[in-house]
Each structure stands twice: as structure tokens, then as C-alpha cells.
């Protein structure tokens, strides 16, 4: 009986593992998601957003900051892969969600999506976490962004506190339009009760959506008919409404200044900018892309393989050798894939971007662009290659690819090789080197002159001594 059931058990185990793999494939870093609400009942206001997350395979756990069972780590390992903080009225988040624990969660490659609202004061714990990331909020821990030129005329005709903005364009021309690609030309985002943040100069921070030049932030609890410049926290594009942070270990943090834009009603309602027609909001698609980036469903790069070898006709072109010779011709190839929601695809460089290879000792001897190698590329991976001649310098060198761009995980690959000098039998013969021809000619002239002198000396007849002696004797007789 046991023998007859063992194949069934094996098949069941295989299907179970296969099903688990499919579920976990939603994100490259896992599918365990913790959603923190002030009251778990508030999740009904975000049912469409949370339903979209569950539809993409996330297993969501709902907790409140006061829950005693809430913990981000268990036996030193992450208990969750991702965390969403919705606005809470509590001043602190309790002993299980201290700033240090949240920083440790990021250091353990966990991802955090934090939402804010001008209707709710931000907890001190999250203020301290933002300070660690060089993100600054108003000192009163709240603030309202208004714009009298870019607002929703249907829902905020008088208060102007619901911003109506187009989807964000890339912050640089060498970045893919991750959050606006495919959006209609007249698409609008509705951002009600937004809180703006000021970003420090830290290179890991990137604004996804900035406020318009005509927007400003102030404390709504201290309303006044006329606002002085001293009362404003910040204005214009100083304000970041949606901010991305990616750590060195590629852990991600997103600060969303308007939690209400994730609510069900703002997914289906229509908005209209001043002087424009009403259109359905782009909020649902934008929320999908922002959350997908935050939870590493988008913008994740993977190095599949790296190969370097000699590129010489008469040589044995071994793959990834540990030693080369000066002035060798070599070829370097790297294969990259990009994750998109549920599958790996070939990574395509943006139009104005360049992937570079460095061949360096203490400093780069070569910095070369890597070009697409169609022969070694597939629909799931792109291969980029470069060929060059090694420098006339022996020592320890590195093949290094250091590719770091906003909204993409970091690629930093280093392969160390030795470069030896020429062996005694590898130098070219002197007659091949044109610079040696004068010296060869001088040696030839010297040798030829010496041989001619020896031949002349050897074959020249010596003087007759007897004849000379007779002449001397006749002179004495006389």
C-alpha cells in the first residue's frame, strides 16, 4: 500500500511546490505583505487597491500599531517582505515598530510603502524614519499642499486641496517612463489632501512626482486669509508628492503624500483641471505601478551570466580564464534580465543611456560602452558585449560593471584577473620591429667591415724580407 501511494505523494509534493513557486513569483523578494491601519475596518475604503494586490499574489496581513502580536522579525529573520503604513492617529507606533526596527527591516532587504494625509498627523516613529532617509516634513508633522492653478474643479472648486496633475514624466532623459508609459494624453491624477516633503541631497532619493511650480504647503490648522512667506513650509517643485528611496542593498521605500488617492472613490471618479474636460482618474494604474515598484515587481535587474575570453585566432579561447597577457585581445559579455510583474524579460537600455565596462587596477585603464549582442540575446535576457586590447601593464585588474540608475536595482559586478608580462619567447623578433632597423643596419655594417678587414688582412701578401736584407748589405759594401 505504501509503495502504491508514494508516487501520488510525490506528485502532490511537486504540485504544492510548483503552486508555491507561482505564488511567490509575484515579487522577486517575496509575497508576505503587512498592512498597518489605525483601525482594521478602514481597509474597506481601500478595497480595490488591496484587492489588486491580492490579485497579483500578495498574502496580506492586517494589523494595528497596538497589536501585541505584531512583529517584523521572527528568530532573526523577516516575518514579512513588505509593509504598508496607512495614516494613523497615534503619536507613536509602539515598541514593535520603532525607527530602529524599521531601519533594520530595510537593511534586511524589506520594502516599505508609507502613506500620508493632511487630515492626520504623522507619527513620530515615521518622522524619525524619514529623517534617517533625509526626507523632511513640516515641523508640525502635517501640512496641506494646495494649488490655485492645478486643482480638481469638480470636488475642490473652492478649497483647491485636491490636486489634478498629469502622470509624472521621467526625471532624466536616460530613464524609462515607468510611471507614465501608455497613459492617455489627457490623463490626470487626483491627489486629495496631499502632504509635501522636502528631499535632501542624498543620491538614493528620487522624486517620482513633484508639485507644480504654483503649489505651496502650509499648516491647515493655522488658516489665514493671507499667507506670508514665513508661514510656508515649501513651495513649487521643492515639494515632492511621491518619493522613492532605494538603498545600497536595493531595498525600497516609497513615501506617498496622499493616502486618499488609493481609496476606492478616487479610482472611479472623474476630475477636471481648470479649463479642461472631465476624465476618469489615472489613480488605479498609477497606484499599481508605484506599489509594484515599491514591492520589487518592477525595475528589478538580474545578472544571468558573465563571460570574458581571449579573442585571438591562434589562441585557445578559454572561458573566464584567471590570467591574461599584456596586449591580449579580449571580449567581455554580460547577460541582463528585467522583472516585469510576473516574468523575466530582456533588459533594454533607455534611448539616451549607456551601459559601461571598466577595466581597472587602481583607476580605469579602459572605460568602454557595452553594445547589444544579438547573437547571445533571447526574449528573456539581453547580452551586452565589448572587445578591446589589454593595456601594456602587468598586474591585478578588474572587469567591472557598475550600473546604478533611478528606479532600477543596482548592478555591480567585478571579476578579478591577473595580467602577466611577456614571456621571453613571446616577444616579436627584432627584424619585425621597424624601430630596430637602424640598429640592425649598424650591426650589419660593423660585422661586414670586420669580415672585410679580416679577409683583406688574411689574403694580403706579406713583404719579402730577403729582398730587403740584400738592399741593406749592398749599401754597406759600397
With bands split at pLDDT 50, 70 and 90, how would you rate the model's confidence at 138? confident
Q: Where is pLDDT greater, at 11 or 221?
A: 221
430: pLDDT strictly greater than 90:
no
375: pLDDT strictly greater than 80:
yes
357: pLDDT strictly greater than 60:
yes
For 362-377, what is the mean pLDDT?
Answer: 93
pLDDT at 196: 93
Mind listing the pLDDT tens digit for each residue in 57-87?
A: 999 999 999 888 899 999 999 999 999 999 9
476: pLDDT strictly greater than 70:
no
With bands split at pLDDT 50, 70 and 90, how would you rate the model's confidence at 312? confident
pLDDT at 72: 95
Q: Angle at the Cα of 220 (from 219 to 223), degrees rounded to 5?
A: 100
Strands (E), 181-239: 189-192, 198-199, 205-210, 215-218, 234-235
pLDDT at 293: 96
10: pLDDT strictly greater than 70:
no
Write the burial class of residue 464 (CB in 10 Å: 0-12 exposed, 13-18 middle, 19+ buried).
Answer: exposed
CA-nearest of 47, 54, 128, 40 to 88 is 40
405: pLDDT strictly greater than 80:
yes
Percentage of the chain modeled with pLDDT above 70: 89
Cell (9 digits) for 65: 500599531
| Angstrom distance (rounded) from CA 269 to CA 280 | 6
Q: Where is pLDDT greater, at 431 or 29?
A: 29
Q: Write the CB contacts of 456 (distance below 8 Å, at least 6 apart in sequence).
A: none
Least confident piece of the model among 5-14, 57-66, 212-221, 279-288 = 5-14
In which element (H, E) is residue 285 found?
helix 283-294
4: pLDDT strictly greater than 90:
no
2: pLDDT strictly greater than 80:
no
**Do the beta carbons of residue 362 and residue 402 sit within 8 Å?**
no
| Angstrom distance (rounded) from CA 127 to CA 103 | 12
| Angstrom distance (rounded) from CA 28 to CA 133 | 23
SS (H, E, C) 396-413: EEEEEEEECCCCCCCEEE
145: pLDDT strictly greater than 60:
yes
Mind listing the pLDDT tens digit for each residue in 153-206?
A: 999 999 999 999 999 988 888 888 899 988 999 999 999 999 999 999 999 999
Average pLDDT in the chain: 87
Give the predicted TM-score (pTM) of the model. 0.82
pLDDT at 21: 41
* Residue 85, helix vs strand vs coil: strand
Write the burial class of residue 371 (CB in 10 Å: 0-12 exposed, 13-18 middle, 19+ buried).
Answer: middle
Amino acid at each position: 500500500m505504501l509503495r502504491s501511494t508514494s508516487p501520488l505523494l510525490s506528485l502532490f509534493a511537486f504540485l504544492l511546490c510548483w503552486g508555491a513557486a507561482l505564488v511567490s513569483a509575484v515579487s522577486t523578494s517575496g509575497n508576505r505583505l503587512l498592512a498597518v491601519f489605525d483601525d482594521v475596518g478602514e481597509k474597506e475604503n481601500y478595497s480595490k487597491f488591496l484587492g489588486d494586490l491580492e490579485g497579483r499574489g500578495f498574502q496580506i496581513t492586517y494589523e494595528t500599531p497596538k497589536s501585541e502580536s505584531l512583529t517584523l522579525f521572527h528568530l532573526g529573520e523577516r516575518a514579512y517582505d513588505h509593509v504598508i503604513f496607512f495614516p494613523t492617529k497615534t503619536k507613536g507606533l509602539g515598541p514593535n515598530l520603532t525607527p530602529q526596527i524599521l531601519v533594520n527591516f530595510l537593511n534586511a532587504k524589506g520594502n516599505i510603502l508609507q502613506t500620508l494625509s493632511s487630515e492626520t498627523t504623522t507619527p513620530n516613529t515615521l518622522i524619525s524614519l524619514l529623517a534617517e532617509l533625509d526626507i523632511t516634513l513640516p515641523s508640525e508633522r502635517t501640512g496641506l499642499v494646495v494649488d490655485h492653478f492645478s486643482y480638481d474643479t469638480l470636488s475642490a472648486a473652492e478649497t483647491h486641496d485636491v490636486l489634478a496633475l498629469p502622470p509624472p514624466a521621467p526625471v532624466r532623459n536616460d530613464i524609462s517612463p515607468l510611471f507614465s508609459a501608455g497613459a492617455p494624453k489627457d490623463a490626470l491624477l487626483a491627489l486629495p489632501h496631499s502632504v509635501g516633503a522636502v528631499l535632501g541631497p542624498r543620491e538614493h532619493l528620487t522624486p517620482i512626482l513633484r508639485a507644480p511650480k504654483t503649489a505651496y504647503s502650509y499648516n491647515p490648522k493655522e488658516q489665514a486669509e493671507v499667507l506670508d512667506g514665513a508661514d510656508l513650509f515649501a513651495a513649487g517643485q521643492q515639494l515632492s508628492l511621491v518619493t522613492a528611496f532605494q538603498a545600497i542593498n536595493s531595498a525600497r521605500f516609497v513615501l506617498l503624500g496622499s493616502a486618499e488617492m488609493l481609496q476606492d472613490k478616487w479610482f472611479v471618479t472623474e476630475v477636471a483641471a481648470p479649463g479642461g474636460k472631465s476624465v476618469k482618474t489615472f489613480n488605479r494604474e498609477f497606484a499599481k505601478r508605484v506599489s509594484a515598484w515599491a514591492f520589487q515587481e518592477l525595475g528589478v535587474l538580474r545578472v544571468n551570466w558573465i563571460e570574458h575570453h581571449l579573442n585571438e585566432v591562434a589562441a585557445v579561447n578559454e572561458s573566464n580564464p584567471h590570467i591574461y597577457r599584456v596586449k591580449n585581445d579580449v571580449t567581455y559579455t554580460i547577460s541582463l534580465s528585467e522583472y516585469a510583474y510576473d516574468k523575466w524579460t530582456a533588459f533594454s537600455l533607455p534611448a539616451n543611456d549607456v551601459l559601461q565596462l571598466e577595466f581597472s587596477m587602481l583607476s580605469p585603464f579602459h572605460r568602454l560602452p557595452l553594445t547589444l549582442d544579438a547573437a547571445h540575446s533571447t526574449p528573456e535576457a539581453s547580452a551586452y558585449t565589448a572587445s578591446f586590447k589589454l593595456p601594456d601593464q602587468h598586474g591585478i585588474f578588474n572587469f567591472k560593471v557598475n550600473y546604478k540608475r533611478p528606479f532600477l536595482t543596482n548592478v555591480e559586478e567585478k571579476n578579478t584577473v591577473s595580467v602577466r608580462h611577456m614571456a621571453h619567447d613571446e616577444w616579436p623578433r627584432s627584424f619585425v620591429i621597424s624601430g630596430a632597423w637602424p640598429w640592425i643596419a649598424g650591426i650589419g655594417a660593423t660585422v661586414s667591415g670586420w669580415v672585410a678587414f679580416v679577409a683583406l688582412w688574411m689574403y694580403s701578401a706579406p713583404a719579402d724580407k730577403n729582398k730587403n736584407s740584400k738592399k741593406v748589405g749592398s749599401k754597406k759594401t759600397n
